[in-house]
Structure 1
Amino acid sequence: MPTSILRPSRRGVLAGLGFVALSGQRAFAMGPGVTRPPGFYVPDEALRHERTFMQWPVSREVHLERDFLAYLQETIAEIANSIVDFEPVVMLMAPEHERAARRLLSGAVEIWPIPTEDLWARDSGPLFVVDGQGDLAIRQMNFNGWGGKQVHIHDGQIAARVADRMGLQLLDNGLVGEPGGVETDGEATLIAHESSWVNPNRNGQSKEEIGALLKEAYGGLELIWAPGIAGEDITDYHIDSLARFVEPGEVIIQLPAEYDPDDLWNGAAHQTFDILAGASDAAGRRLNLTVITEPQRVRVRSDDFVASYVNYYVCNGAVIAAEFGDRETDEEARRVLANAYPNREIVLLNVDALGEIGGGIHCATREQPAV
């Protein structure tokens, strides 16, 4: 098995707004010993959603092979059709693609005429924030194609266009990056790889300055950094294919079956594990880590293939996750997710097309929280 299976590289890689001040809002308590700063914050993904946003992949500059693009569209449609059984889904696409897309999408999936290039709604889609008082806004993360590695003429404008259509405030503190590169417990703690943020292809500030901007953007108090890996994949090692918060104090992390310090990706995954195992959250709790074993017998044998069980999506009443054809680890992943989310249906899908281009289900989805 190639130990680079965790690597989030992508096939077909090609080479703002002012800060909005928040004032007059009171701070409020969230969990033991935690007082969140006043203003907007990113809530826990596991809380109730109003809907899910997704993006329809269409660009032949990004996906050069027509047949593979069709395969991708079928996979995105299957994910959307699975989620819409549990909550509303909006698919973003230019109007000229709607007729063909409708052949694959459930009639329950709503289509909004917002142009897209690729499918990564987690990174280029709207990042919704709430203020705990019934207000909703969108956080602008200034998506720049993972540091200029991919065309983003339309994808770079999606957050602003969704905010305009919904009549929502667009908040921007100048930070450049992708929400797939940071995990939040919805309370006040963040996890991120430095390689995705403290990187001149996105931000030119110091680690401390970038950390402060991330905490402001997400409404966080504590940011746990791990080094990650820069320059080896398009995302510079997004955290959401490796480790995810289940709830405050609880993290699921995927690790290879055996430790190999000589393998770059294996070693980096264990390094992140060690850092998280020794870390405390904003409330002073030590993090409890649950390990899912990386699959070994997968259907796609490629150095670029990402087989991440933790790149799952939590929606109303369900967890939508991937299976990879390894009976033993697929079943382990189902058990771990069922234990972590006991009141939700666990839906496992074959999304190998996304793994071939370096992502998964979480990368392709973005929740709008209910307020």
Structure 2
Amino acid sequence: MSIRNSGDNPGITRRSMLARTGMVAAAVAAAPVIGAFPTSTAAAAGTWRVPGEETPHECTWMAWPSSTTIWSTDLAKIQADIAKLAKEVAKYEPVMMLADGSTAASKARTMCGSTVTVVSSIPVSDCWMRDTGPLFTVDGTGGLSSFGLNFNAWGENATSFYGIPASAYNKDRVVAGKIATYIDVPFAKASVVGEGGGIEYDGDGTLMATESCWINSNRNPGKSRSQIEAELLARFGATKMIWLPGVKGYDVTDGHIDGTARYIKPGVVMVQLGGAAREDVWNRNADAIRNVLANATDAKGRRLQVLTIQGPDTLPRISRGKWADFLSSYMNWTVTNGAIITTQFGDTARDAAAKSAIAAAYGRPVVQLNLDALYGNGGGGAHCVTMQEPKV
């Protein structure tokens, strides 16, 4: 990538940005709400769009966990998994790792190695870059812009679920804009509150999201589904939303879509079904999501092709009493320029089947890592801790 001196890591530079233009203003009209989980359409949202994750990346952004207030005695294990993942992603594209100050940066550089660029000048609270970082939009002519979703610690669920003080996430509430400033890209704040892990986008006009995350008083009190939809469509440069059932109040995210269903490319989605390692509430919801998607069309009028895989039946490295809190999802993969990086859980047959299915769907190699600490103690996965910056 074309780069200039960052001042954060000796010998490491960051890329010089092209001239940027601002976000194109777009007004969208929401369709009426009909039924429990219907699809709806809206007017065109302008030339800017968030591209699909399968398109080429400039780099991947990550964040180094260093807060004992958040992680307590689990911190070292979480850091080890973040370092393992960062080094793997760096085999396929540049990784920009934010670290909270010089001490955290030194630890990150030691554990991640020289292939990962560590930036110490942007403060961070934690590692969930998918939910805290900016979403990037492109205009097809070399323009890059960005927006943030006003992260509020998952509707302050971090406090209600785990007793973590709300102030522990103060740096992550503003990190999206700081990243945009660092790389000299225009930035805007959405008028809704949410997280990147709570929405999937195909880059071709269609979004899908669970109602449990967005139409929720802990994030968007007083806002209707139509209002939330209109704003998301405008920000993503999309014209159609597929609303999906979700699970509210059962985990800290209120049922992020990226643990259950993902876009492979426009017109093609994958859903993880079943698996005895996952509690029935999630398996029932996955069935409901599959059923909605199987009957949905996208912004281009295509009937969606719905691929499915099965979740693991066992987590042999994890005690049975901890399965309920473990994100036993192959779906929470991260897409890189050269490979799809996901997890393996030790269920040999299901791990192999998932790897084969994901590789066939993408036409790319699949790397499976043991990230038990992140998926177990963290309750999130490879997608949750990465955010791609598209190549323009």
TM range (shorter): 0.7 to 0.9
Aligned pair 1:45/2:53, yes or no?
Answer: yes
Question: Identity of counterpart residues, as a percentage?
Answer: 41
Candidates 298, 316, 319, aligned match of 2:340: 319
| 2:70 partner SS | coil
Secondary structure (helix, strand or coil) at the match of 1:155 reads coil
Give the RMSD, CA atoms, in angstroms: 1.9
The answer for the alignment partner of 1:64 in structure 2 is: 72
Is the Cα contact below 8 Å between 1:36 and 1:187 reproduced in 2? Answer: no
Greater length-normalized contact order (CA 8 Å, ≥ 6 residues apart): 1
Structure 2 CA distance for aligned equivalents of residues 257 and 294 of structure 1: 4
Name the CA distance, whole Å, in 1 between partners of 2:245 and 2:52.
Answer: 24
CA distance in 1, matches of 2:383, 2:154: 17
Aligned length: 338
Displacement of 1:358 after TM fit? 1.4
Dislocated runs of 4+, deviation >4 Å: none
The within-5 A match list for 1:283-322 is 283-298=300-315, 299-300=317-318, 301=320, 302=322, 303-322=324-343
Deviation sequence 1:118-150 (CA, Å, 0-9, x none): 111100012111122211111111111001123
Structure 2 match to 1:337: 358
Deviation at residue 257 of structure 1 after TM alignment? 4.3
**Is this contact kept in 2: 1:198–1:206, CA < 8 A?**
yes
Contact 1:120-1:364 at 8 Å conserved across structures: yes
**Is 1:82–2:82 an aligned residue pair?**
no
Structure 1 residue runs without a partner (length 5+): 1-19, 25-33
**CA contact 2:275–2:283 (8 Å) conserved in 1:** no
Name 1:121's counterpart in structure 2. 129
Q: Give the C-alpha shift of residue 345 in structure 1.
A: 2.1
Q: Give the Cα separation in 2 of the matches to 1:279 and 1:351.
A: 34
Distance 1:21 1:352 in 2: 39
The alpha-carbon deviation at position 264 of structure 1 amounts to 2.2
Distance 2:189 2:51 in 1: 18
Partner residue, 2:171: 154
Counterpart mapping for 1:129-278 below 5 A: 129-150=137-158, 151-204=168-221, 205-257=223-275, 263-278=280-295
2:190, 2:281 → 1: CA distance?
A: 33
3-state secondary structure, aligned to 1:289? strand
Contact 2:334–2:341 (Cα < 8 Å) also in 1: yes
1:363 and 1:264 mapped to 2: Cα distance? 21
For the structure 1 residues 118 and 283, does the alpha-carbon distance in structure 2 shift closer, same or farther, using more than 3 Å as the test?
same
Post-superposition offset of 1:84: 0.6
Which residue of 1 is the match for residue 384 of structure 2? 363
Contact 2:62 2:95 in 1 (8 A): yes
With the length of structure 1 as denominator, give the TM-score of the two structures: 0.87
| Structure 2 Cα separation of the partners of residues 39 and 264 of structure 1 | 40
| TM superposition shift of 1:35 | 9.5
CA offsets, 1:138-196, max 9 Å, x none? 11111110011233111111111111111111122311100100000111111100000
Q: For residues 210 and 259 of structure 2, what CA distance do their matches in structure 1 show?
A: 11
- Alignment partners' CA distance in 1, 2:298 and 2:289: 15
**CA contact 1:54–1:90 (8 Å) conserved in 2:** yes
Tell me which residue corresponds to 1:346: 366
CA distance in structure 2 between the partners assigned to 1:318 and 1:263 by the alignment: 31
8 Å contact kept, 2:23–2:145: no
TM-score normalised by length of structure 2: 0.83
* Structure 2 unmatched runs, 5+: 1-21, 27-41, 159-167
Please give the secondary structure, in 1, of the residue aligned with 2:327.
coil
Cα deviations by residue, 1:192-217 (Å, 9 ceiling, x for unpaired): 00000000111120011111111111
Distance 2:77 2:220 in 1: 34
Aligned equivalents of 1:168, 1:175: Cα separation in 2:
21
- Give the AA of the match of 1:175: V
Local SS of the residue matching 2:111: coil
* Distance in 1 separating the partners of 2:23 and 2:105: 39
1:265 is displaced (CA, Å) by 2.0
- Checking the alignment, whether the CA contact within 8 Å between 2:133 and 2:148 is kept in structure 1 is no
Q: Contact (CA 8 Å) 1:126, 1:159: kept in 2 or not?
A: yes
